[in-house]
Amino acid sequence: MNGIWDKEVEVLIVGSGAGAMASGVFAAHRGARTLIVEKSALYGGTSATSGGGVWIPASDSALEQGQQDTPEEAYTYIKELTGNTVADDRIRAFVQNARVMKGAIEAVSALRFTAIPYTDYQAEKPGGKMGYRSHACNTIHASELSPEDFATLRTTHRSAMLFGKIPWTIMESAPMITRGPGWKSTMARVLLRYYSDITQRLRSPRSRFIVFGSAIAAHLKNALNRTGGELWLNTALIDLLRDESGVVTGALVQKNGKVLRIRATRGVILGAGGFERNQAMRDRYLPGESRTTFSASQENNTGDAIEAGIRIGASTDLMDEAWWAPTVHVPGEDTARPLFFERALPGCIIVNQAGDRYMNEAKSYDIAGKAMIEADRPDARTIPSWIILDARFRKKYPMGPIIPLLPDWMQSPAARKAMKKASTIEGLARMIGVDPGRLSATIAKINRYASTGVDEDFHRGSAPYDRYYGDQSVKPNPNLAPLDCAPFYALQVYPGDIGTKGGLATDDRARVIDMAGEPISGLYAIGNTAASVMGPSYPGAGSTLAPAMTFGMLAVYDMLGEPA
């Protein structure tokens, strides 16, 4: 070192989500001196809070289960959804290398991905599949981590756990949510697993059974430890550093209050998430009324890495897009709760402030969230909207913070505060400021549709994804049931997100592109720090994590001079 650097590495990675951690493992495994910096006190990023799905077309796991798929079919599907918003070479780089990434990360870690029968979000489109592109990862127990690594691992979002605190797997959650076959025995198993860990229950409500994105982060941290990579917590990016020729040579960071200059001789990878928790950036870029309180993402995603790239001349793309999701704000909670599946269950509807439906509530959460923004108008506001349910739904299914089976008085104080309740539809309408006549007419119409099984207005229940979270015991349409059992309930719903998807423009090797369309030497971006390869679309569960990890691999290959 020449004296001006506080630390020198070959590969510097900003952020600690799945893409960043995978990049660190790939680089360290190849012998490169690797440092990951994370600005918070916990590692795992938004990935750790997520459901942990990873969307990998034509994987060995899918093919071994007899499922037919090819990268070309996946390209057709993504192209159908994205149009001309994403360069073809980026799409092809992803669909051709996602399964390569799966094999590569499984070769250097204990992480394993298994294809599951989770339908693509728009499976009816050309190239779409009814399942086996979304993958679940293997769980891990806290005993397999060091005490420090378990203590500093970011946990699963409360909305993705039973009762907000008990972990379950993807295959356990589906029958319990929809009351599918075997749901009672599944619930018994999940509860027994949690409460039988008596030693941990005496210490903490936190489970030692680690699932979803948190399990991905845990497996990758173990792999990083084994390969010799470093992870610094409480270390925030201040700025990128360049030499006289414009090559990115490192970064200025602040670690525990001390400013440090870190040199990266091979390159810097920015994988620090999006800007959803930065109100100024939301105001500047996102459409409609857009508040940080609408977001279900964790609080550290304030766009620091994106702004650092912009300051040195990087171009951006898709800055008006997010991974949209209708959300419920629960008093006292620091993040909103996304309504991923509840909207599809029979016996609930979403209405605007005039009392009218305006969407197919069972559509994938990105489509439903965006519909809330696009339908908003002065005479019929959809920001916020109301989700309405009856006592039958209330008893049988979850809804945001409201737990089924438990009587109202046993719900948490925050849940009781969030929900409105009345003995009649007209009384509920007056309570929430909606015209009683219009809401009653809307309910009468959906009740008629429930009897015929055909939603004549928005076709709820007509698409494969709609039915995935339907209750198959409800006939003739698993997504439709009458709202006719008093009392009636309402919760306010916002057009939230689980992250922004606009960011720094990159090429097929994750190199950041400048305003002239040329790569900025030494700088790469992945995950939500980069403009998504999925464009404005959301093909299926895991469309965020898989590209982050895949382009993280390609970035490491490029900076270390290895062929993709």
Do 555 and 424 lie in one domain? The reply is no
Contact 512, 314 (CB under 8 A): yes
Do 239 and 347 lie in one domain? The reply is no
In a domain, 80, yes or no: no
pLDDT per position as a tens digit, 365-424: 999 999 999 999 999 999 999 999 999 999 999 999 999 989 999 999 999 999 999 999
Work out the percent of the chain whose per-residue pLDDT is above 70: 99
Contact partners, residue 418, CB within 8 Å, separation at least 6: 328, 329, 330, 331, 400, 401, 402, 491, 492
DSSP string, 497-544: EEEE--EE-B-TT-EEEBTTS-EEEEEEE-GGGB--TTTT---STTTT
In a domain, 557, yes or no: yes
Do 473 and 445 lie in one domain? The reply is yes
pLDDT of residue 178: 86
Neighbours of 263 (CB within 10 A): 18
Q: pLDDT at residue 1 above 50? A: no
Do 401 and 514 lie in one domain? The reply is no
Could you tell me whether strands 140-141 and 134-137 are parallel, antiparallel, or unpaired per DSSP bridges?
A: unpaired
Do 331 and 447 lie in one domain? The reply is yes
Contact 89, 507 (CB under 8 A): yes
Q: pLDDT at residue 278 above 90? A: yes
In a domain, 65, yes or no: no
Contact 554, 509 (CB under 8 A): yes
pLDDT of residue 227: 97
Mean of pLDDT values over 236-244: 97
Helix (H, G, I), strand (E, B) or coil at 208: coil
Do 557 and 454 lie in one domain? The reply is no
CA distance 474 to 480: 8
Q: pLDDT at residue 563 above 80? A: no
pLDDT per position as a tens digit, 131-152: 999 999 999 999 999 999 999 9
In a domain, 109, yes or no: no
CA distance 170 to 137: 10
CA distance 272 to 269: 9
Q: At 520, give phi and psi (nearest 5°).
A: -85, 115
In a domain, 402, yes or no: yes
Helix (H, G, I), strand (E, B) or coil at 165: coil
Reported confidence tier of residue 188, pLDDT bands at 50, 70, 90: very high
Measuring CA to CA, which residue among 206, 140, 128, 148 is closest to residue 169?
Answer: 140
In a domain, 69, yes or no: no
User: Of 496, 518, 550, which residue constitutes the final position of a domain?
Assistant: 496
Do 175 and 256 lie in one domain? The reply is no
Mean of pLDDT values over 7-19: 98
What CATH number does the domain containing 510 carry?
Answer: 3.50.50.60
Do 417 and 396 lie in one domain? The reply is yes
Mean pLDDT for all residues in the chain: 96
Q: Which ranges constitute the DSSP H helices of 69-120?
A: 71-82, 88-108
Mean of pLDDT values over 74-99: 98
CA angle 182, 390, 487 (to 5 degrees): 125
Measuring CA to CA, which residue among 148, 164, 145, 173 is closest to residue 52?
Answer: 173
CA distance 142 to 165: 16
Do 298 and 398 lie in one domain? The reply is no
Mean of pLDDT values over 492-512: 98
pLDDT per position as a tens digit, 322-373: 999 999 999 999 999 999 999 999 999 999 999 999 999 999 999 999 999 9
Least confident of 53-62, 170-179, 295-304: 170-179
CA distance 438 to 440: 5
In a domain, 22, yes or no: yes
**Bridge partners of residue 419, in order along the sequence:** 491
* CA–CA distances in Å: residue 364 to residues 378, 455, 467: 26, 17, 11
Helix (H, G, I), strand (E, B) or coil at 76: helix
What CATH number does the domain containing 360 carry?
Answer: 3.90.700.10
pLDDT of residue 180: 85
Mean of pLDDT values over 98-103: 98
CA distance 24 to 549: 10
Do 243 and 95 lie in one domain? The reply is yes
Measuring CA to CA, which residue among 487, 501, 291, 278 is closest to residue 384?
Answer: 291
pLDDT per position as a tens digit, 295-308: 999 999 999 999 99
**Bridge partners of residue 237, in order along the sequence:** 253
Q: Report residue 132 as tokens.
A: 């086996």
pLDDT of residue 564: 66
CA distance 251 to 264: 8
Note down the domain range covering 564.
1-54+88-103+139-161+208-321+501-564
What total number of domains does the chain contain? 3
User: Of 441, 472, 496, which residue constitutes the final position of a domain?
Assistant: 496
User: Of 437, 461, 496, which residue constitutes the final position of a domain?
Assistant: 496
Measuring CA to CA, which residue among 295, 230, 305, 314 is closest to residue 505?
Answer: 314
Do 189 and 230 lie in one domain? The reply is no
pTM (2 d.p.):
0.95
Do 387 and 466 lie in one domain? The reply is yes
In a domain, 78, yes or no: no
